[in-house]
Amino acid sequence: MPKHRFTIMSMMKDEGHSLVEWVAYHKHIGFDNIVVYTNDCTDGTDDMLIRLEELGWVQHFRNDVPEGRKPQPNALALGTRNPEVTDSEWILTMDADEFLSIKVGRGWITDLVDNMDPKADGIAITWRFFGSNNVTRWDPGLAIESYTRSAPDKFPKGWGVKTLFKPYRDMKLGIHRPHIKKAKKVPANAKLLLDQLWLNGSGDPMPHEFSLSGWRSTKPTLGYNLVEMNHYAVKSYESYLLRRIRGNVNNKPDKYNAAYFALFDRNELEVTNVQRHVRATKRKIETILADPIMRELQRKAILHHQNRVQQLRETEEYEEWLDELKKAGQVPLDKLDEVLFIQHLPKEWQLKVKELQAQGVPDGDIAKMIAQTQTAKKGQTRRELLELSGKATANQAEGDKPDASRQTDVQNELENPFMNTEAAASLGVPLSKDRTLKMALAAQAVDQADESVADVVGKARTIKQAVSRNRAKSLSSRGVVDSKTDSEASLKRPTHGGEDEN
């Protein structure tokens, strides 16, 4: 029997001003084990966690990051090897600005599990981004009470997931979802992962292939009926500016810029599910802060951040930065394609963005090129899949006119430098990756008669064909000869060394 029932693993740096609320809330909704790794704290977050561990609220571990590594992946690797994380019935990896919002029963974690299929191995919980509520000033008050306006359901840019799952052998923790070690080299491991039953946030089964590589919801898999993950990514304007100058657990330069704020300062919808837990959360906060040592540590942490806010207000750039954020926050949903945010883009595209900026191309025009590429290439891949399945041919035989958008695609490719890149060829199609197909083929080697595995392999092969045809057409439109050969022959059986593990 596992030592723990419901475990949260998190990574933190300088979260002392909001730490107690986060712990109190998740303890209230039923997590019996909270494990936090910290690195490079300057506000006493690590000392607070040490004291909280002494009081029995959490477990704290240091994340000593070797040179050349990033804090978040390092902590995840440490957690993968830590039985205080893995010896649990259920595990959820999440961040300090995320609050699990359970929408059934009393809103407790047991209510969620009771409403899931008993055979489920995991549930993919889609983010809901919360905005600033047009609050300017920094305030150490409760996030779940202060920020109630969020993105609507139909906000694809915010459809990343976090996963509550049952641990399994050779598991490897990830920030969005768990993986499995040596999935391409050990067929039984790939089969184990593919055989798992994962649900969406409404309790409906996810496609089998999602368990191999997915980390985002899509239109067909989106679900919010049982649970969602409240993501307070921006908070007030001043809170956001503090995050910008503080850095982040991935050491990504310039992550918290105005473009990020424009994308995720979403205030279209009033969402108050977690507010039913405010009173109970406050009671738990009172219990934690009844300890004089803990109370003093929190006072120091809040003072540390108040001093930084004051320093921020005294900088020459303060008014300029504030005005920049307020303008960014006014960008409506239907204009977000004009916002240039490159942190999530492939390296190939990030380099192209810098080239275009050096040529004097406006950021808004670059953003529209990227959005145009994403829309066009996804549509092109869908058409190729229809043709490969024979459906498109049947439609044309019935008298359909030629698809005018094909000529538009060709014209776009001549003018848009993102169109003919490797990244564009497989946009929005996780199954097109060699790694995913290798994992599916490895799983098939265990049981050739398994129809669900055969279905995933068939989908992956078809999608790879579609992507290959897309690439060939793109290059042909520019008169370029494709020097790449189809790699599918090398994917006929699991490999045995010389490549990165999943």
For the chain of 502 residues, list the mean pLDDT of each consecutive stretch of 10: 96 97 98 98 98 98 95 97 98 98 98 98 97 94 97 94 97 95 87 93 92 86 97 95 65 68 95 98 98 98 96 93 94 90 82 89 88 71 56 42 43 64 64 71 83 79 70 61 47 39 38
Query: In a 10 Å sphere around its CB, with 0-12 CB exposed, 13-18 middle and 19+ buried, how is residue 128 labelled?
Result: buried
Q: Which residue has the tokens 């094909």?
A: 406
Q: Are the C-beta atoms of 169 and 186 separated by less than 8 Å? A: no
* Euclidean distance between CA atoms 133 and 92, whole angstroms: 28
Q: Where are the alpha helices (DSSP H) in 315-360?
A: 318-328, 347-358
Give the count of beta carbons closer than 10 Å to the beta carbon of residue 428: 14
* Euclidean distance between CA atoms 392 and 389, whole angstroms: 8
* Euclidean distance between CA atoms 479 and 35, whole angstroms: 56
Give the count of beta carbons closer than 10 Å to the beta carbon of residue 271: 19
pLDDT the model gives residue 134 = 94
pLDDT the model gives residue 496 = 36
pLDDT digits (tens, 9 = 90+) for 258-311: 999 999 999 999 999 999 999 999 999 999 999 999 999 999 999 999 999 999
State the Cα angle at 500 between 498 and 502, rounded to 5°: 135
Q: Which residues, 6 or more positions from 380, have their beta carbon under 8 angstroms from its beta carbon?
A: 406, 409, 470, 473
pLDDT the model gives residue 348 = 83
